[in-house]
Structure formats: C-alpha cells, structure tokens
C-alpha cells in the first residue's frame, strides 16, 4: 500500500517528466518551415489565459475551457508560402489513444476552436487546429491575398495536420494510426476540400452542414437579409418574426411525430395565417 505522500511524490515526478518531454518538443520539431513559438505542459484543470498571452485576437471567439486532462500544448508558426503562414495549436493528451483529430475553422474566422479541441481531449485524440492563416473574424485579411485565402480555404487544415502528425510521432514515439477531421460549415468545407486535394491525409472526415457552395451561400444571405431586415415599414420586425416562429411551431412541430420544437422538414409546413 502506498502512503499519500508517496503517491504525491510519484505524481510530481510524473508531471515533471511530462514537462520535460513537452519542452523537448521545441528542439525536435522545428524546421525551415515550422517555428515552435512555445510549448507548455498543462495539468488537468488548468486554464489558458490567452488574453494575457497576447493571443486574444487569434482566439477571441471561444475561450479555452479548463483542461479536461493533462496535456502538452504546442504553438507553432508554419510557413505556407513566401507570403503566408499559419499559427497552429496542438494539444497532446497524457493518455493518448494514438489517433489525431484536426479541428476546422468557422465562417471567415481565424480562431482556434478551443471547445472542440477540448472535446478531442476527452476522447484521447491528439488534437490540432490553426488560425487558417489570419487572426480575428473579419474576411478583410483575405482581400487581394490569394495565398492567405488558400490557407483559409484548405491549406491551413492540411499543414496543421501534417505538423500535428509530426508532433505525435515525436511526443509518443509512434505515428498516429488514424487521423480524422471535424468541422461545421466552413470547417466542414475545409475538410472536404482537403479530401479532394490530399485524399490520403485523413482516414475520416466529420463534415457538419458543409458550406461548400460558399459564394452562393453569401449571395443567399444577402438576398434574405434584404428581404427580411430591410428596415422598411412594410417588412416584418424582429418581434413579428418571433410571432411567426411561435405560430409555425404551434402548427407544424408535430408533423414529424416529435414535439421537440424542431420542424424536421419545413417543406411540409404550410402556415395557416388566417
Ligand atoms: Ca418536431
């Protein structure tokens, strides 16, 4: 039987060993194209204060949750062309199942999806994501910058995954035996594009509602917003739309057999307004 003081000592030695392993990644992974910005061992429950790290622009959309497990965090700058680069964040959990998970971006964001990365930690994935080549949520960084646009389109995911695979090999001593990508909307579109251009990179891709036909989606948004939020007195106000929403639910919620506030097939909902 181990005494509590002995257990605490073993735990401290284990964490110290992991901190050394994590720190040594900086020497092993660097190359002409990959610059290691920082490595950091994060014990279970610790919180990343990215604002104090000066990274609030890159990570502003979604604050980091408390770390669900102990992990080695690596931040890389990966050169993708003569005029573009991506910031990559990789989390390597203490208890790995030998698999890698890539997490995509959202909309025009250059923001690392911390909550999805934390989800990867729960499942024992080494998890990687990037800023897609630019910081913040604006698309202005993409204007007249085709290399940056390419990074946001697909190359950021590809290169972050390549770097992530190298990190896994160095940190755990063996290659990732499976690699997956997960994303919603833009993140899904990125995964599909990578599958077209580099089909061997992933073993599987979870593409939520993929924003693949992005130009049409943006045009559709413009048309719909013009129709419903034009500001003319003859248009419905937000309060009016709330009434429409409630009425649609009351008339059509049960059409799909479930009273769950979801109308599964809106085409079957013919709103009776009189
Ligand atoms: Ca329903």
Kindly state whether residue 230 falls inside one of the protein's structural domains: yes
**Taking the alpha carbons of 147, 153, 155, 156 in that order, is the dihedral positive or negative?**
positive
Considering only residues 179 and 107, tell me which one the structure prediction assigns the higher pLDDT: 179
Specify whether 112 is located in the same domain as 151: yes
Cα of 167 from ligand 1 centre, angstroms? 45
Cα of 252 from ligand 1 centre, angstroms? 7
Give dist(CA 67, CA 15) in Å, integer: 15
Specify whether 136 is located in the same domain as 235: no
Specify whether 111 is located in the same domain as 239: no
Residue with tokens 């990125």: 190
Could you tell me which of 222, 184, 226 has the C-alpha nearest to residue 205?
184
Cα of 249 from ligand 1 centre, angstroms? 8
Cα of 255 from ligand 1 centre, angstroms? 6
156 is in which domain, residue-wise? Answer: 4-213
Backbone angles phi, psi at 76, to 5 degrees: -120, 150
Kindly state whether residue 112 falls inside one of the protein's structural domains: yes
Specify whether 189 is located in the same domain as 231: no
Cα of 247 from ligand 1 centre, angstroms? 13
Residue 165, helix vs strand vs coil: helix
> Which of these three, 177, 198, 213, is where a domain ends?
213
Q: How many CB atoms lie within 10 A of CB 103?
A: 28
Specify whether 17 is located in the same domain as 153: yes
Cα of 183 from ligand 1 centre, angstroms? 26
Considering only residues 78 and 51, tell me which one the structure prediction assigns the higher pLDDT: 78
Cα of 257 from ligand 1 centre, angstroms? 6
- How many helices (H) and strands (E) the chain has is answered by 7, 7
Average pLDDT score over the chain: 88
Q: 230 pLDDT band (50/70/90 cuts)?
A: low
Q: Give the burial class of 15: count Cβ atoms within 10 A of its Cβ; 0-12 exposed, 13-18 middle, 19 or more buried.
A: middle
Read off the pLDDT of residues 235-268 as tens digits, 9 standing for 90 and up: 777 888 899 999 999 999 999 999 999 999 989 9
pLDDT of residue 135: 86
Cα of 263 from ligand 1 centre, angstroms? 5
Q: Is 54 left (phi over 0), alpha (psi -120 to 50) or beta?
A: left
Specify whether 230 is located in the same domain as 202: no
> Which of these three, 213, 242, 258, is where a domain ends?
213
Cα of 265 from ligand 1 centre, angstroms? 9
Cα of 185 from ligand 1 centre, angstroms? 23
Read off the pLDDT of residues 75-88 as tens digits, 9 standing for 90 and up: 999 999 999 999 99
> Total domain count for the chain?
2
Specify whether 124 is located in the same domain as 241: no
Kindly state whether residue 250 falls inside one of the protein's structural domains: yes
Specify whether 150 is located in the same domain as 259: no
Are the C-beta atoms of 133 and 86 separated by less than 8 Å?
A: yes
Kindly state whether residue 22 falls inside one of the protein's structural domains: yes
Kindly state whether residue 207 falls inside one of the protein's structural domains: yes
Look up the CATH number of the domain holding residue 144: 3.40.50
> Which of these three, 182, 213, 244, is where a domain ends?
213
Considering only residues 41 and 222, tell me which one the structure prediction assigns the higher pLDDT: 41
Cα of 217 from ligand 1 centre, angstroms? 26
């Amino acid at each position: 039987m181990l005494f509590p003081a002995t257990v605490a000592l073993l735990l401290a030695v284990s964490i110290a060993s992991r901190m050394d392993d994590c720190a040594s990644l900086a020497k092993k992974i660097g190359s002409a194209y990959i610059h290691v910005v920082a490595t950091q061992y994060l014990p279970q429950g610790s919180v990343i204060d990215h604002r104090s790290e000066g990274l609030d622009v890159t990570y502003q959309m979604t604050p980091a949750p408390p770390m669900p497990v102990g992990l080695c965090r690596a931040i890389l700058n990966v050169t993708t062309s003569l005029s573009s680069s991506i910031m990559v964040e990789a989390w390597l959990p203490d208890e790995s199942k030998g698999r890698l998970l890539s997490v995509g971006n959202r909309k025009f964001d250059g923001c690392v999806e911390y909550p999805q990365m934390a989800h990867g930690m729960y499942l024992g994935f080494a998890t990687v994501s990037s800023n897609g080549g630019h910081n913040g949520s604006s698309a202005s960084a993409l204007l007249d910058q085709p290399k940056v646009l390419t990074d946001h389109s697909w190359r950021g995911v590809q290169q972050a995954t390549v770097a992530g695979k190298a990190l896994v090999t160095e940190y755990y001593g063996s290659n990732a035996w499976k690699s997956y990508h997960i994303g919603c909307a833009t993140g899904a579109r990125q995964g599909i594009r990578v599958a077209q251009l580099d089909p061997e990179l992933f073993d599987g891709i979870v593409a939520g509602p993929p924003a693949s036909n992005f130009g049409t989606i943006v045009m559709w948004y413009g048309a719909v917003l013009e129709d419903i939020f034009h500001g003319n007195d003859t248009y419905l106000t937000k309060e009016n739309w709330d009434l429409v929403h409630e009425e649609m639910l009351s008339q059509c919620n049960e059409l799909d057999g479930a009273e769950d506030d979801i109308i599964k097939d809106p085409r079957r909902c013919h709103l009776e307004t009189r």
